[in-house]
Amino acid sequence: MTVGDLWLNSTAYENVGYIVDNFGNRFMGTESERKTKDYLLSLFKQYGLENVHAEPFNYTGWKRGKCAVEMVHPVKRSLWSSALPHSASTSFGGIEARVIDVESGTKRDFERKSNEISGNMVLAPASSSHHVDMAARYGWAVEHKAVGCIFRNEAPGQLIRTGAVATGYRNTGVIPAISVSYETGAFMERQMRSGQIIVKMEIENSTLPNTTGWNIVGDIIGEGGTSSMVMMGTHYDGHDIGQEAASDNILGVAVMLDAARALAKFKGKFKKTIRLVAFGNDECLTVGTVNYVAQHEKEMQNVDVMIGDGLGRNFIDGLCISAGPPALARPLLKLLNDWKINLPVEETDEDWVSATHFLHFALAGIPNIDFERRHRKSTWHGTEPRDETNRHHTTTDTFDKIDPVLVKQHAILLAELVLALVNMPEPLLKHPTRDEIMQSLKSHGYDEILKAQNRWHPGSILGD
């Protein structure tokens, strides 16, 4: 019955189209975000969820302004660019400095060129690689006394890739940071082969203290009002570099809402409660998630598993155990086999240090599962492919790229997985302690990356 309903009466595709056409990209602190919050609240109620409400939180917001970037030596050329969320402004009249290429942008790359970086700008990849993202590279640039950052996209096609460079909960950036396309980056590297290049930046952004965001929460109560729960969650906000931010990640919210719509008809019959959360302002380094976990800290012990990201985007080639623990693989595979859900399970640890909501649940001991297909490298000139993953955070993340059949398939598989989980009498896995989690992070060196991102707060979920 659930599968037939999700195939014949799916609403996810239409909901995404309505939201992006009527409300836009839902960037933090905007009217677009507020209107989407109100609309999602109405859908949560319409689809039969209980205890539906919005949970507000305050954070330091950010608004972009002028961004003028020019190469002044060895040739003069305006560089098409965009300031990154939480980039600092330059002083009046801008700054001029030499640009240092930090190659892959690892911690070792920064250390190796530390003397050159001081007082200059750095050129680094915008993509995540070696478990390192823009926020970590930005942190190392600040640590090595750079005066600015330029991030080059690794996917060709004149696409500028955006992403936050500093946490937006209590912090904002201290040096300016911009993003350029693959082709602009290639031009800059070509000039470097002849000698030094000098770039002028004039950036004017503003910070917005005490900005309000919202997490949207709804439940499908299990039998006897049980406190044990399985969570589904992903974010509804998007970046402002494009008009829609369709698949990242209002699509994921719509898919999990569709699955919940079908499952809500059986409320009171599951062994566990299902909780749905649409997180606000998660694009700027998971502000919504860190606040949700802090506000529900005492409930975390009751959460069996968290299911999230990647819903509706790609062909489903398996499930991912994101941010550990690896011990989850065996019981999860057994559950899938028992319920005849024919999906493999892949282990990955990249979400420990990437800017996803999984980190904060993992730090609270919650096992995480996602549907996100792992990134595959292209062999074309060593760059990344212009595929569904690399459309995210660019102007090309638009509704027309979404496959309505794939959306239905994701909703069906999500509902089947949740149904299996909520009918288990016991949790899939015992939660690790916080000390065990911290020790594991340190043993892999991830604490150094989290420190660079300003997200290493062993004593507190919210940080200092």
385: which DSSP letter?
P
Start-end of H helices in 300-355: 329-338
CATH architecture label of 2-62+209-452: 3-Layer(aba) Sandwich (3.40)
Distance CA 148, CA 158 (A): 22
Neighbours of 450 (CB within 10 A): 20
- What tokens appear for 379 in the block? 């062999």
Cα of 245 vs its chain's centroid, Å: 12
Comparing CA positions, the residue from 306, 304, 344, 303 lying closest to residue 322 is 306
Distance CA 17, CA 351 (A): 29
Please state the domain extents for the chain: 2-62+209-452, 65-204
- Cβ within 8 Å of residue 112, ≥6 positions away: none
Distance CA 145, CA 148 (A): 9
- What tokens appear for 361 in the block? 């649940």
Structure pTM?
0.93
- pLDDT, position 120: 98
Q: How far apart are the first and last CA of the chain?
A: 49
b (16+ CB within 10 A) / e for 36-73 = bbebbbebbeebbbeebebbebebbbbebeebebbbee
- What tokens appear for 375 in the block? 């990134």
Query: Topology of domain 65-204, per CATH?
Result: Glucose Oxidase; domain 1 (3.50.30)
Describe the strand order of the beta sheet including 82-83 as a list of residue ranges. Answer: 77-78, 67-73, 198-203, 95-101, 121-125, 148-152, 177-180, 82-83
129: which DSSP letter?
B
Cis peptide before 249 (omega within 30 of 0): yes
pLDDT tens sequence across 101-143:
999 999 999 999 999 999 999 999 998 876 788 999 999 999 9
Rg, the chain, Cα only: 22
- Cβ within 8 Å of residue 450, ≥6 positions away: 352, 353, 441, 456
- Cβ within 8 Å of residue 371, ≥6 positions away: 309, 310, 311, 314, 316, 319, 320, 410, 413, 414
- Cβ within 8 Å of residue 341, ≥6 positions away: 413, 416, 417, 420
Distance CA 160, CA 396 (A): 10
Q: Which helix (H) or strand (E) holds 24?
A: none
> Is the Cα dihedral 238, 375, 180, 395 positive or negative?
negative
Residue type, 155: A
Angle, helices 329-338 vs 404-422, to 10°: value is: 100
Distance CA 318, CA 316 (A): 6
| Contact between 338 and 420 (Cβ < 8 Å) | yes
The residues of the chain scoring below 70 in pLDDT are 1, 130, 168, 322-324, 348-356, 372-389, 457-464
Q: What angle do CA 283, 260, 336 make, to 5 degrees?
A: 90
- pLDDT, position 247: 94
Residue 320 pairs with which residues in a beta bridge? 346, 370
- pLDDT, position 387: 55
- pLDDT, position 323: 67
pLDDT tens sequence across 332-348:
999 999 999 988 888 76
Cα of 460 vs its chain's centroid, Å: 21
- pLDDT, position 260: 97
Comparing CA positions, the residue from 136, 398, 450, 25 lying closest to residue 124 is 136
Q: Which residue reads 């590297």 in tokens?
A: 189
